[in-house]
Amino acid sequence: MNLSDIFCQDRAVEALRRAHQTGRLAHAYIFDGIDGIGKFTTAKAFAKLLLCQSDQSEISPQGSSTNLKSQIDSCGQCESCRMIDADNHPDFHHIYKELCKVSREPELRSKQPIDLPIGVIREFFIEKIQVKPSLSTSKVFVISESEKLNIASQNALLKVLEEPPNKSFIILLCSKLDNLLPTTKSRSQIVHFGPLSEEKIIEKLPEVNQTEAKFFARFTNGSLGQSELLTKLQPSFYAIKKEFVKKFSIFQIGDVVDFSQWINSSAGELAESWMKLKAASSKADLGRAARKIFVSLFISVLSDAMRVSLGGEEKLTNFDQLAEVKTISQRFGQLGCADIIEVCYQTIRFIDASVNEKLVFEHLLLNCTESGIIKSSI
């Protein structure tokens, strides 16, 4: 994968090419944007260019001198490029929280990491960045989920960010810029990655029908990666979401326990299927992620219901279940929906804090009833 192959992130790619072409490369970059929009793929393609052993001024895919600079890219032929493509480049390092499983420290190996532990940063980043490059003239470190760097890990990073040794480049991939310390941000150049348009996502999901693809584009806020992932899960996530919206539109107080159990068991099945696609991740991590997807379903349908109560039916995420959305809108009302959305954000915090999984959805559903929303509709 070269920079020219990156899909729909022209502004970000152009900024990186321009920096390379003008010799104004930063030592540290933050690639900011939601998950699944090509941040890692771009980081790897940019690393390929930074580590490429050819003289990039000679490279022009079109062979035209006018395109020479705007099309600057890795050669794809040299030893370095081939090693990046084969995922065994000695000067390219990918840092992610699950590396704790291969740590030399037994204590770190036994961890189920929620954040990016300082032990991983020390062993796989700070130690390795001190070693001279062995193939190329510089080294590249890509840190995934940098929003999960805790304060201690960020403090450990700071000194290196200021002046990375051995001509190294550091790329932090981040989906929540607010989680990074101001000092981390001020020492890095921020490159923003935007969501993809609905049309592009539909075009890239030919295996599902248009209605389904449109739902995924809206539900993931324009993330192709997340949309692709959701279409691969078994049982069908789309069928589960249809069932969820139906159940949510008609559930009564007496259904809370059953409904909550159904959510937990469906989330469990999705997490199992997810495990098969993403073997590096921990089961607990994917279990949490699957439950958070259900909270996002709650938020999506409640936001739709609020929009409908204000008279808007445009751009609803659950446009394919308009009747149910209208029922929810009538039952809960605008303020009721807003209240439950608040509880949804609290539920996400509970899930992150590993609060008893059996109780979180009961708590959320009971909150719908406690606010009198359902009682008043009976």
Choice from 41, 54, 273, 296 touching Zn ion (CB under 5 A): 54
Token duo for residue 1: 């994968």
Distance CA 69, CA 216 (A): 37
Cα distances (angstroms) measured from residue 156 to each of 111, 121, 209, 267: 20, 8, 48, 36
Residue 45 in the binding site for Zn ion (CB under 5 A): no
Q: Tokens for 192, please give them.
A: 């923003």
- Residue closer to Zn ion, measured from CB, 74 or 226: 74
What is the nearest approach in angstroms of Zn ion to the Cβ of residue 51? 8
Rounded to whole angstroms, the Cα distance separating 101 from 143 reads 16
Taking CB under 5 A as the criterion, which residues in 66-85 touch Zn ion? 74-75, 78, 81
Residue 167-196 contact track with Zn ion, rule CB under 5 A, x = bound = ------------------------------
Other C-beta atoms lying within 10 Å of the C-beta of residue 254: 9
In angstroms, what is the minimal distance from the CB of 1 to Zn ion? 13
Taking the complex as a whole, the smallest distance from the CB of residue 48 to Zn ion amounts, in Å, to: 7
Is the CB of 81 or the CB of 120 nearer to Zn ion?
81
- CB of 142 vs Zn ion, minimal distance in Å: 18
In angstroms, give the least distance from the CB of 69 to Zn ion. Answer: 17
Residue with smaller CB distance to Zn ion, 2 or 220:
2
3-state SS class at 126: helix
Stretch that binds Zn ion, among 54-62, 182-190, 208-216, 283-291 (CB under 5 A): 54-62
CB of 318 to Zn ion, least distance (A): 47
In the complex, minimum distance from the CB of residue 170 to Zn ion, in angstroms, rounded to a whole number: 21
Binders of Zn ion among 233-252, rule CB under 5 A? none
> 37 vs 75, which CB is nearer to Zn ion?
75
> Within positions 80 to 119, which residues make up the interface with Zn ion, using CB under 5 A?
81
Residues within window 331-370 making contact with Zn ion, judged by CB under 5 A: none
**Closest approach of Cβ 220 to Zn ion, in Å?**
34
Q: Does 270 bind Zn ion (CB under 5 A)?
A: no
Going across the sheet that includes 139-143, the strands are 92-95, 139-143, 168-174, 28-32, 189-192
Query: Rounded CA gap, 17 and 157, in Å?
Result: 26
Stretch that binds Zn ion, among 37-45, 53-61, 215-223, 296-304 (CB under 5 A): 53-61
Q: How many residues in the shown chain lie near Zn ion by CB under 5 A?
A: 6
Q: In this structure, how many other beta carbons lie within 10 angstroms of the beta carbon of residue 112? A: 13
End-to-end CA distance of the chain: 58
d(CA 361, CA 358): 7
| Stretch of 17-25, 49-57, 213-221, 296-304 lying at the interface with Zn ion (CB under 5 A) | 49-57
Residue 347 to residue 294: CA distance in whole angstroms: 10
Closer residue to Zn ion (CB): 78 or 366:
78
SS3 readout for 184-242: HHHCCEEEECCCCCHHHHHHHCCCCCHHHHHHHHHHCCCCHHHHHHHHHCCCCHHHHHH
Q: Is the dihedral of CA 342, 345, 351, 354 positive or negative?
A: negative
- The structure tokens listed for 201 are 């996502």
Cα Rg of the chain (Å, integer): 23
Q: How far is the CB of 67 from Zn ion (least distance, A)?
A: 18
Would you say 153 and 118 are in contact if contact means Cβ atoms under 8 Å apart? yes
Among 30, 43, 52, 196, binds Zn ion (CB under 5 A): 52
User: For Zn ion, which stretch binds (CB under 5 A), given 50-58, 96-104, 211-219, 227-235?
Assistant: 50-58
For residue 62, the minimal CB distance to Zn ion (Å) is 18
Binding site for Zn ion (CB under 5 A): 52, 54, 74-75, 78, 81
